Amino acid sequence: MSRFLLRRQKIQIQREDTAFDAYIIGKENAPAIVVVPEFWGVYFEVKNHAQKIASLAPGYRALIPDLYRGKVGLDVAEAQHLMESLDWPSAVKDIDASLNWLKSNGSSKFLKLMLWLGFYGAPSAELVDATKANAPVQAHFGELDSLTAKQLEEKLESSGVPNEVNIYAGVGHAFLNVSPEGKQMRKNMGMNDDDPAAVELAWWKASALPTK
């Protein structure tokens, strides 16, 4: 894939009586992935992940909705405040609007990738009922993270939802954040685990998940 195709663009998506910014990267007609950002907001590591996704074979189109409306957490306390202040029903509408934008702009196949707000956790049942998923669910958790992985797996299994819940030994929360800055942020939060093999395996499995 050429550098031109991997250039990130900032767009604005309209829904109902509001609008929000989003960032998109990748080929227009490629399978699309909505990358829901971490609790920091749309910061450098989320953009790194979108870049990585767009470059995976056979090529994807990644869209990051800015759920915090331009704000980024500069430290844990600020990021925690942003996440706790987030209007979650509105955020879900932003994600749906992102999918609709992609459908209207050249994409026909889709995935959602939840990062810290979901990739290593699970949304509340009030917002998203995992037992009613109408597509296969793939999840990735560090073994040192919370018990969310097993809880999610039990819900999906009992409901007959096709799923693949992956738990990586010896790593914890946000283990995909491997840039020098990302590693330092994790260390500042007391997370010193580092397993390149787990990171590589997680990306390989994520890229192999069929698009809907």
Give domain limits for the chain: 1-117, 122-212
- pTM of the predicted model, to two decimals? 0.84
> What's the confidence (pLDDT) of residue 129?
75
Q: What is the pLDDT of residue 117?
A: 46
Q: What is the 3-state secondary structure (H, E, C) of 170-194?
A: CCCCCCCCCCHHHHHHHHHCCCCCC
In 3-state terms, the chain is what percent helix, strand and coil (to 5)? Answer: 35, 20, 45
Q: Nearest-CA neighbor of 107 among 59, 42, 67?
A: 59
Would you call 142 exposed, middle or buried from its count of C-beta atoms within 10 A (0-12, 13-18, 19+)? Answer: buried
Measured distance CA(156)–CA(175) in Å, rounded: 23
Q: pLDDT tens digit string along 142-191?
A: 888 776 788 888 888 988 988 888 889 988 888 899 999 988 988 888 88
pLDDT tens readout for residues 74-130: 998 999 999 889 998 899 899 999 999 999 998 888 776 665 544 445 556 677 777
- In angstroms, the CA 126 to CA 141 distance is 22
> Check: CATH 1.10.3720.10 for 1-117?
no
| Vertex 146 angle, CA 140 and 148, to 5° | 60
Amino acid at 44: F
pLDDT digits (tens, 9 = 90+) for 11-20: 999 999 899 9
